[in-house]
């Protein structure tokens, strides 16, 4: 991504790798590839090549040139990284995952995680699921665990700071408790240019962490935030909900920190329900389905109502997550089918169809800008060489000279048996236009009428003039007067108006036709 003279917001999605995953997994997403061993990460040159191939699509992004985690004894921690390049500075983003290691008979792994093996320069941003708890980044934690204290001591030693605000990032499926095992940390200098927030609930037990980093020394770009509309608040309902929630007795041996956290949660929950906010961003078009919005709202509400001492709240939360996932899958499939049948089913969208099909199949594009290509066993790097190879391959198409005689014969065969029609109208009218009618009598006699109509603007007027001329002709030339008259037109506009009867006619043409009849 271009990095000069403007600020860039980077959303860092920290994904927890699958348990038992391997660094050799070929899932098509190289930038989030997990490495089971740091030694394998240091020796894996093919991954660097794959990262280089992926990152060449977006200039300014590249893989790390050296191992970011040097701890050969640690065979459980998984690390992957990417480097964002700039003219005057760069940023190294490390995604780390330390699996939970439990001292049980089933778990034979040893915890050899050492944060001192991580780089501590001013250009490194560390994000990931470390499965460690400390009051520095977990407000729900009163006493740090062993790994959390180890990480806190290391950050204090090197002068690093956590970016987390203390909000919980994970909700347990088993107990329903909310904690913050995810950490985003960097140096104090980089922390002054970075901000941290939680992203929306995406259906996982982890909430995404969004880190924004300014790449220029200028002031941060102002982002319009939502503001509460206190004049529209329902203060009666707000007070009743707060009083009802705070009137419940606390759990035994409850600390002051947990009481303060409970009071804050009650106020925030009541504010979100009874105090509306404005200046929100417009929702994405693909997420405007009412059923999907309702399912997501129910999932978020179930997460907000999640309580550790209420097993039913955990069951409701898991059921709401499953329903939201099912609705999202069904709605996405329906909308994509509509997108294919409407937008992509057009000749002008063939290029988009080709790109989407290539993306589905994982095919590469040999003609991407900035990449070399091969032609007849020869490597082509410059634009001039690629253009010459393109001409040699596809120039025969331009030699297909059209033959007028063959075109005329083909056109005649195509239109010979096709019905032709003329609506008698044109945009803006026709100068010296006219109308026509065929009169066929019961004895087989056919009479053709051509009537000058001046400037015609619609097929309705042309049909009315033709019907008037035919009625006048039959009046002046009486024959077979006992037989009915049947009108046939190429549209129903004139007949629909005449069917209303003589008294309902408001135009001179309609009145004259009924008078002749």
pLDDT tens digits for 456-467? 556 777 788 888
C-alpha neighbours within 13 Å on the C-beta side of residue 150: 13
DSSP 206: B
State whether 148 and 66 are in the same domain. yes
pLDDT band at 127 (very low <50, low <70, confident <90, very high): very high
State whether 206 and 255 are in the same domain. no
- Do the domain assignments include residue 386? no
In this predicted structure, the answer to whether residue 317 has a pLDDT above a threshold of 80 is yes
- Do the domain assignments include residue 198? yes
pLDDT band at 343 (very low <50, low <70, confident <90, very high): low
The whole-number pLDDT of residue 378 equals 83
- Do the domain assignments include residue 448? yes
- Do the domain assignments include residue 447? yes
Picking from 374-378, 449-453, 469-473, 502-506, which range would have the lowest pLDDT averaged per residue?
A: 449-453
State whether 101 and 243 are in the same domain. no
- Do the domain assignments include residue 394? no
414-432 per-residue burial string, b: 16 or more CB within 10 A, e: under 16: eeeeeeeeeebeeeeebee
pLDDT band at 242 (very low <50, low <70, confident <90, very high): very high
In this predicted structure, the answer to whether residue 355 has a pLDDT above a threshold of 60 is yes
Closest CA relative to residue 216, chosen from 192, 244, 185: 192
State whether 161 and 301 are in the same domain. no
Most confident of 3-7, 175-179, 351-355, 362-366: 175-179
Percentage of the chain surpassing pLDDT 70?
Answer: 69
* Structural domain count of the chain: 3
CA torsion, points 441, 444, 445, 447, in degrees to nearest 10? Answer: 70
Residues in contact with 286: Cβ distance below 8 Å, sequence separation at least 6, in sequence order: 332, 335
pLDDT band at 185 (very low <50, low <70, confident <90, very high): very high
State whether 461 and 500 are in the same domain. yes
State whether 43 and 132 are in the same domain. yes
The whole-number pLDDT of residue 53 equals 41
Model-level pTM? 0.40
Q: Domain containing 452: what range?
A: 430-516
Picking from 30-34, 368-372, 382-386, 391-395, which range would have the lowest pLDDT averaged per residue?
A: 30-34
State whether 177 and 255 are in the same domain. no
pLDDT band at 240 (very low <50, low <70, confident <90, very high): very high
Which residue in the block uniquely carries the two structure tokens 């596809």?
394
In this predicted structure, the answer to whether residue 305 has a pLDDT above a threshold of 60 is yes
Residues in contact with 210: Cβ distance below 8 Å, sequence separation at least 6, in sequence order: 11, 12, 196, 197, 198, 199
Report the pLDDT averaged over residues 428-440: 67
The model's pLDDT over 12-29, given as tens digits with 9 standing for 90+, comes to: 333 333 333 333 333 333
In this predicted structure, the answer to whether residue 120 has a pLDDT above a threshold of 80 is yes
Secondary structure element (H or E) that encloses residue 258, with its range: helix 256-274
Using DSSP's 3-state secondary structure scheme, residue 435 falls into: strand
State whether 159 and 237 are in the same domain. no
The whole-number pLDDT of residue 216 equals 66
The whole-number pLDDT of residue 61 equals 52
DSSP bridge partners of 80: 95
Token pair for residue 127?
């994000």
- Do the domain assignments include residue 61? yes
In this predicted structure, the answer to whether residue 182 has a pLDDT above a threshold of 90 is yes
C-alpha to C-alpha distance for 115 and 106, rounded to whole angstroms = 26
The model's pLDDT over 31-52, given as tens digits with 9 standing for 90+, comes to: 333 333 444 434 433 334 433 4
- Do the domain assignments include residue 506? yes
If you write DSSP's letter for every residue of 48-60 in order, what string do you get? HHHHHHHHTTSTT
- Do the domain assignments include residue 14? no
State whether 205 and 242 are in the same domain. no
State whether 157 and 245 are in the same domain. no
Domain end marker among 198, 221, 244: 221
- List the CATH number of the domain containing 51: 3.60.10.10
DSSP bridge partners of 62: 83
Mean pLDDT across the chain: 74
Report the pLDDT averaged over residues 88-105: 82
Domain end marker among 172, 198, 221: 221
Token pair for residue 480?
């077979």
Domain end marker among 157, 189, 221: 221
The whole-number pLDDT of residue 348 equals 55
Closest CA relative to residue 250, chosen from 268, 265, 228: 265
Greater confidence (361 vs 10) lies with: 361
C-alpha to C-alpha distance for 152 and 130, rounded to whole angstroms = 12
State whether 213 and 235 are in the same domain. no
State whether 186 and 293 are in the same domain. no
C-alpha neighbours within 13 Å on the C-beta side of residue 37: 8
């Amino acid at each position: 991504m271009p990095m000069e003279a403007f600020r860039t917001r980077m959303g860092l999605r920290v994904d927890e790798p699958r348990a038992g995953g391997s660094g050799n997994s070929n899932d098509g997403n190289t930038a989030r590839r997990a490495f089971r061993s740091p030694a394998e990460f240091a020796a894996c040159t093919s991954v660097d090549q794959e990262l280089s191939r992926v990152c060449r699509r977006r200039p300014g992004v590249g893989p790390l040139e050296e191992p970011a985690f040097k701890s050969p004894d640690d065979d459980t921690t998984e690390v992957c990284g990417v480097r964002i390049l700039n003219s005057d500075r760069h940023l190294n983003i490390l995604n780390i995952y330390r699996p939970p290691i439990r001292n049980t008979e089933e778990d034979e792994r040893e915890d050899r995680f050492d944060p001192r093996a991580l780089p501590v320069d001013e250009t490194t941003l560390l994000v990931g699921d470390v499965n460690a708890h400390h009051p520095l980044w977990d407000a729900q934690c009163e006493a740090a665990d062993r790994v959390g204290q180890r990480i806190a001591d290391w950050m204090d030693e090197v002068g690093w700071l956590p970016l987390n605000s203390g909000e919980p990032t994970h909700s347990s499926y088993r107990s329903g408790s909310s904690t913050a095992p995810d950490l985003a940390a960097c140096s104090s200098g980089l922390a002054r240019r970075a901000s941290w927030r939680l992203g929306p609930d995406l259906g996982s037990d982890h909430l995404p962490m969004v880190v924004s980093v300014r790449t220029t020394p200028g002031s941060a770009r102002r982002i319009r935030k939502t503001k509460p509309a206190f004049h529209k608040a329902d203060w009666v309902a707000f007070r009743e909900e707060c009083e009802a929630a705070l009137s419940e007795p606390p759990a035994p041996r409850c600390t002051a920190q947990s009481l303060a956290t409970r009071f804050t949660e009650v106020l925030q929950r009541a504010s979100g329900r009874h105090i509306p906010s404005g200046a929100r961003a417009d929702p994405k078009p693909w997420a405007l389905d009412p059923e999907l919005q309702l399912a997501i709202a129910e999932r978020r509400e179930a997460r907000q109502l999640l309580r550790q001492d209420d097993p039913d709240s955990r069951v409701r939360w898991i059921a709401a997550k499953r329903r939201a996932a099912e609705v999202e899958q069904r709605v996405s499939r329906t909308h994509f089918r509509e997108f294919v049948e409407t937008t992509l089913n057009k000749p002008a969208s063939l290029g988009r169809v080709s790109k989407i099909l290539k993306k589905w199949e994982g095919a590469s594009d040999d003609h991407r800008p900035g990449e070399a290509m091969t032609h007849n066993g020869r490597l082509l790097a410059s634009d001039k060489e690629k253009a010459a190879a393109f001409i040699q391959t596809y120039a025969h198409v331009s030699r297909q000279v059209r033959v007028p005689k063959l075109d005329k014969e083909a056109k005649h065969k195509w239109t010979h048996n096709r019905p032709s029609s003329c609506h008698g109208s044109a945009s803006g009218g026709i100068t010296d236009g006219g109308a026509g009618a065929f009169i066929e009598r019961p004895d087989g006699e056919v009479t053709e009428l051509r009537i000058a109509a001046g400037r015609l603007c619609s097929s309705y007027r042309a049909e009315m003039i033709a019907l008037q001329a035919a009625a006048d002709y039959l009046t002046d030339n009486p024959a077979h007067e006992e037989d009915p008259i049947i009108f046939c037109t190429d549209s129903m506009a004139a007949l629909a108006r005449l069917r209303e009867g003589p008294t309902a006619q408001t135009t001179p043409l309609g009145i004259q036709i009924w008078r002749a009849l």
